[in-house]
Structure 1
Amino acid sequence: MALIPLADIPRRGAARHGKSAWAIRHGDDIVTWGELADRATRRAHALRASGVTQGDLVTLALPNGSDFYEVMFALWTIGATPHVVSYRLPLAELRAIVAVANPKMVIAADPALRKGLAAAPADFGRDHADTAVIEPVIAPRWKAMSSGGSTGQPKIIVAPGLNALDPDRKPPLRFPAAGPILATGPVYHNMPVTTNIQALFEGHSIVGMSRFDPEEALRLIDRFAIQWTSFVPTMMMRIWRLPDGVRANYDVSSLETVWHWAAPMPPELKQAWIDWLGPEKIWELYGGTEGIVTTILNGVEWLAHRGSVGRPHLDKIRIVDDGGRDLPAGEVGEIFALPAGGRGSTYAYIGAETRSTPDGYETLGDFGWLDEDGFLYIADRRTDMIVSGGANIFPAEVESALMAHPGIEGAVVIGLPDEDFGASVHAIVQPTDGWRGKLDQDMLVTFLRDRLVAYKLPRSFEFVDGQLRDDAGKVRRQQLREQRIAMREAAAPIHASSV
Structure 2
Amino acid sequence: MPSPQVALSAILAHHAQGAPSRLAVVQDDVGVSYAELDARTNRRARWLASQGAGYGDFVTVALPNGLEFYETVFALWKLGAIPNIVAAKLARPELEAILDIVRPRLFVGSAPAPGIATLAPGQPVPDRYSADSLPEVVSPHWKAMTSGGSTGRPKVIVDAMPAQWNPEEGFLLQRPGDVILNPGPLYHNAPFHCISMGMFVGATIVEMGRFDALRALQLIEAHGVNWVTMVPTMMHRIWQLGPEVLSQFSLPSLRMMLHMAAPCAPWLKEAWIDWLGGERVWEYYGTTEGIGSTIISGTDWLAHRGSVGRVREGYEMKILDEAGLERATGEVGEVYFRPDGGPGSTYHYLGSASKRVGDWETVGDLGSVDEAGYLYLADRRNDLIISGGANIYPAEVEAAIDAHPAVRGSAVIGLPDEEWGARVHAIVQPLEDSGLEEQELLDFVADRLARFKLPRSIEFTPEPLRDEAGKVRRAALRQARLEPAAGA
* Cα pair 1:398 1:456 within 8 Å, conserved: yes
TM-score, normalised to structure 2, is: 0.95
CA distance in 1: counterparts of 2:475 and 2:253, whole angstroms: 40
1:283 equivalent in structure 2: 282
2:248 equivalent in structure 1: 249
SS at match of 2:65: coil
CA distance in 1: counterparts of 2:414 and 2:116, whole angstroms: 35
* TM superposition shift of 1:247: 2.2
Q: Which runs of structure 2 are paired with 1:262-411 in the superposition (5 Å)?
A: 262-314=261-313, 315-358=315-358, 360-411=359-410
1:475 equivalent in structure 2: 472
CA distance 1:421–1:208, shift in 2 (3 Å): same
Q: Which runs of structure 2 are paired with 1:82-481 in the superposition (5 Å)?
A: 82-108=83-109, 111-112=110-111, 119-123=118-122, 126-131=125-130, 132-167=132-167, 169-171=169-171, 173-176=172-175, 178-314=177-313, 315-358=315-358, 360-433=359-432, 435=434, 437-440=435-438, 442-481=439-478
**Residue 5 (structure 1) aligned with residue 7 (structure 2):** yes
Matched residue type, 2:71:
E
2:17 equivalent in structure 1: 15
Unaligned runs of 5+ in 1: 492-499
Q: Give deviations 1:102-147, integer Å, cap 9, x for gaps.
A: 1111111xx4456897631224673352213211211221100001
CA distance 1:193–1:73, shift in 2 (3 Å): same
1:496 equivalent in structure 2: none
* TM superposition shift of 1:330: 0.4
CA distance 1:333–1:179, shift in 2 (3 Å): closer
TM-score, normalised to structure 1, is: 0.93
SS at match of 1:252: coil
CA distance 1:251–1:278, shift in 2 (3 Å): closer
* Cα pair 1:107 1:114 within 8 Å, conserved: no
CA distance in 1: counterparts of 2:59 and 2:79, whole angstroms: 12
* Cα pair 1:366 1:382 within 8 Å, conserved: yes
SS at match of 1:475: coil
Q: Give deviations 1:292-319, integer Å, cap 9, x for gaps.
A: 1110000111000000000001211110
Q: Give deviations 1:399-444, integer Å, cap 9, x for gaps.
A: 1111121221101101112233222211011112352x3221x222
* Cα pair 2:106 2:116 within 8 Å, conserved: no
Matched residue type, 1:51:
G
* Cα pair 1:431 1:439 within 8 Å, conserved: no
* Cα pair 2:52 2:106 within 8 Å, conserved: no
* TM superposition shift of 1:223: 0.5
* Cα pair 1:82 1:142 within 8 Å, conserved: yes
CA distance in 2: counterparts of 1:406 and 1:121, whole angstroms: 43
CA distance in 2: counterparts of 1:114 and 1:143, whole angstroms: 21
Q: Give deviations 1:316-340, integer Å, cap 9, x for gaps.
A: 1110111111011100001111012
Matched residue type, 1:480:
L
RMSD of aligned residue pairs (Cα, Å): 1.8
1:26 equivalent in structure 2: 27
Q: Give deviations 1:276-295, integer Å, cap 9, x for gaps.
A: 01111111000110111110
SS at match of 1:119: strand
CA distance in 1: counterparts of 2:36 and 2:92, whole angstroms: 32
Matched residue type, 1:393:
I
* TM superposition shift of 1:244: 2.1
* TM superposition shift of 1:489: 3.5
CA distance 1:168–1:206, shift in 2 (3 Å): closer
CA distance in 1: counterparts of 2:394 and 2:85, whole angstroms: 28
Matched residue type, 1:261:
M
* Cα pair 1:42 1:125 within 8 Å, conserved: no
CA distance in 1: counterparts of 2:279 and 2:29, whole angstroms: 34
Unaligned runs of 5+ in 2: none
CA distance 1:160–1:88, shift in 2 (3 Å): same
* Cα pair 1:25 1:31 within 8 Å, conserved: yes
Aligned length in residues:
484
* TM superposition shift of 1:9: 2.3
* Cα pair 1:408 1:432 within 8 Å, conserved: yes
CA distance in 1: counterparts of 2:437 and 2:175, whole angstroms: 44
**Residue 488 (structure 1) aligned with residue 479 (structure 2):** no
* Cα pair 1:176 1:227 within 8 Å, conserved: no
CA distance in 2: counterparts of 1:304 and 1:124, whole angstroms: 53
**Comparing 1-10 and 391-400, the one that deviates more:** 1-10
CA distance in 2: counterparts of 1:113 and 1:214, whole angstroms: 34
CA distance in 1: counterparts of 2:184 and 2:333, whole angstroms: 31
CA distance in 2: counterparts of 1:256 and 1:468, whole angstroms: 31
Matched residue type, 1:45:
R
* TM superposition shift of 1:361: 0.4
**Comparing 363-372 and 449-458, the one that deviates more:** 449-458
SS at match of 1:88: coil
Percent identity over the alignment is: 46
* Cα pair 1:46 1:125 within 8 Å, conserved: no
* Cα pair 1:407 1:434 within 8 Å, conserved: no
